[in-house]
């Protein structure tokens, strides 16, 4: 806490001193306000046979038939005198349709099973930056949507989750350093400004640097009394010919779980290769998880779905079970050559097997994502369609029946954003 206070005090002192020195000259101020309308229509079916919950009871079939909309206002002061500023984002979500017997995912559910409208502050934070020659310093403090290699606030619902804390960054000659101290968060379907984590803090430090054409990144996370995690990544892009290149990356992560988390230690490695030609690509990935399941290693994962599996095998399902081997094939195309640069399609298929402590384990999925961003008079409007088809057959070493899961769904997204100023 003393470190947090001293860092914040130093950042504010530097910002105030600089702003005061410039106040006698000219105060530069470049605020912006963006309004966004979002509309999500989801139709999903979850069929379960002999699947049991963590308490041992049978999991019943589920259905999602929901239609929700939201309005979001995002105000940014910019950097006053290129030093200090603030960001405030507020949002309100409303149910357009929700069957009584279906589960909700974009909106909270009341005791009567109905979807409840909600509104709240999505972001509210101070930000500052300062340059000392080639050294660029930055920081922020407050509630915001954050994304790291090992921790991320989910943005998969109509309103985003957030976390509360302090961030500092430093960039020097291509070397980027960052650190964060987080103490709470807000779920993606709640209006509370901030709830405490069970862990007193989640601390993250990381760095990135490029050398000889190789992009390197490393990150360490510690959630007090819950887990310590580490992540390493190396990526390289190889030009082969005009409009032809190959991308490669290797990722490795470890999780050292404390007894309070109720989990085992875990680690995974992930290998990926992608061939890019013109506006198209094809790719392949492989992931192996060892020792224990990866998901569930942070702190309160229900506070914003903050547990991140930073692997190419994080698809509709996270292929990160203990001992699991998983394979991925991808392909995609942008229709710019046909005069539609805003239209893209991405396809993926994944397969997982060999989970530990099972006599049978096989899962696979197919998914597609089609998106289109309009231009001209409709600039700011985008639509997307996500389809997935997932199946799992699993039998534990001591089980007498095979548990089967079949999940299929379609999600339609519409978003329109306009800059007021």
Task: Give the pLDDT confidence of 56-85 residue by residue, as tens digits.
Answer: 788 888 888 999 999 999 999 999 999 999
Question: Can you give the residue range of the structural domain that contains 387?
Answer: 2-419
Give every CB contact of residue 17 below 8 A, 6+ residues apart in sequence: none
What total of structural domains would you count in the chain? Answer: 1
- pLDDT value at residue 47: 93
Separation between Cα atoms, residue 243 and residue 249, nearest integer Å: 20
- pLDDT value at residue 3: 42
- pLDDT value at residue 261: 66
The DSSP-derived string for 70-129 is EEEEEEE---BTTTEEEEEEEEEEEEEEE-TTS--SSS-B-TTS-B--EEEEEEEEEEEE
Residue 24 pLDDT > 60: no
Using an 8 Å Cβ cutoff, are 93 and 107 in contact?
Answer: yes
| pLDDT, tens digit (0-9, with 9 covering 90-100), for 357-389 | 999 999 999 999 999 999 999 999 999 999 999
CATH number at residue 180: 2.40.160.10
| pLDDT, tens digit (0-9, with 9 covering 90-100), for 177-215 | 999 999 988 888 877 777 888 788 899 999 999 999 999
Cα end-to-end distance, the chain, whole Å: 38
Q: Which residue has the higher pLDDT, 244 or 299?
A: 244
- pLDDT value at residue 80: 95
Using an 8 Å Cβ cutoff, are 355 and 324 in contact?
Answer: yes
Across the chain, mean pLDDT equals 89
- Full-model pTM: 0.89
- pLDDT value at residue 421: 95
Structure tokens that stand for 281 in this block: 């690509």
Separation between Cα atoms, residue 390 and residue 316, nearest integer Å: 8
Q: 152: which DSSP letter?
A: B
- Closest alpha carbon to 325 in 269, 272, 378, 375: 269
Q: Report in angstroms the alpha-carbon separations of 317 from 162, 227, 407.
A: 22, 23, 10
Residue 420 pLDDT > 70: yes
């Amino acid at each position: 806490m003393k470190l947090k206070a001293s860092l914040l005090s130093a950042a504010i002192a530097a910002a105030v001193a600089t702003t005061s020195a410039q106040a006698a000259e000219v105060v530069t101020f470049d605020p912006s306000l963006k309004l966004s309308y979002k509309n999500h229509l989801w139709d999903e079916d979850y069929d379960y046979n002999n699947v049991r919950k963590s308490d041992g009871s049978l999991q019943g079939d589920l259905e999602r038939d929901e239609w929700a909309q939201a309005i979001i206002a995002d105000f940014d002061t910019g950097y006053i005198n290129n030093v200090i500023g603030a960001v405030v984002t507020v949002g309100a979500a409303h149910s357009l349709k929700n069957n009584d017997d279906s589960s909700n995912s974009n909106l909270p559910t009341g005791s009567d099973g109905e979807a409840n409208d909600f509104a709240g502050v999505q972001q509210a934070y101070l930000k500052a930056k300062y340059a000392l020659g080639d050294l660029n310093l930055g920081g922020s403090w407050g509630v915001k949507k954050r994304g790291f290699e090992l921790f991320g606030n989910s943005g998969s619902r109509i309103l985003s989750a957030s976390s509360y804390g302090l961030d500092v960054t430093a960039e020097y000659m291509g070397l980027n350093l960052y650190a964060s101290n987080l103490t709470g968060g807000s779920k993606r379907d709640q209006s509370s400004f901030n709830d405490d984590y069970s862990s007193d803090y989640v601390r993250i430090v990381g760095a990135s640097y490029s050398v000889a054409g190789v992009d390197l990144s490393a990150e360490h996370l510690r959630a007090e009394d819950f887990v310590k995690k580490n992540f390493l990544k190396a990526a390289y892009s190889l030009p082969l010919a005009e409009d032809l290149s190959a991308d490669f990356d290797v990722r490795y992560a470890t999780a050292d779980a404390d007894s309070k988390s109720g989990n085992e230690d875990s680690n995974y490695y992930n290998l990926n290769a992608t061939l890019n030609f013109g506006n198209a690509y094809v790719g392949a990935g492989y992931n192996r998880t060892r020792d224990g399941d990866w998901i569930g290693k942070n702190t309160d994962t229900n506070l914003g779905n903050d547990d991140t599996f930073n692997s190419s095998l994080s698809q509709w399902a996270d292929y990160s079970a203990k001992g699991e081997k998983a394979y991925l094939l991808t392909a995609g195309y942008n229709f710019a050559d046909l005069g539609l640069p805003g239209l893209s399609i991405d396809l993926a298929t994944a397969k997982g097997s060999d989970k530990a402590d099972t006599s049978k384990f096989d899962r696979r999925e197919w998914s597609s994502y089609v998106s289109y961003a309009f231009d001209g008079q409709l600039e700011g409007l985008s639509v997307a369609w996500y389809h997935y088809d997932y199946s799992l057959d699993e039998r534990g070493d001591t089980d007498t029946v095979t548990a089967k899961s079949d999940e299929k769904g379609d999600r339609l997204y519409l978003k329109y954003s306009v800059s007021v100023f």
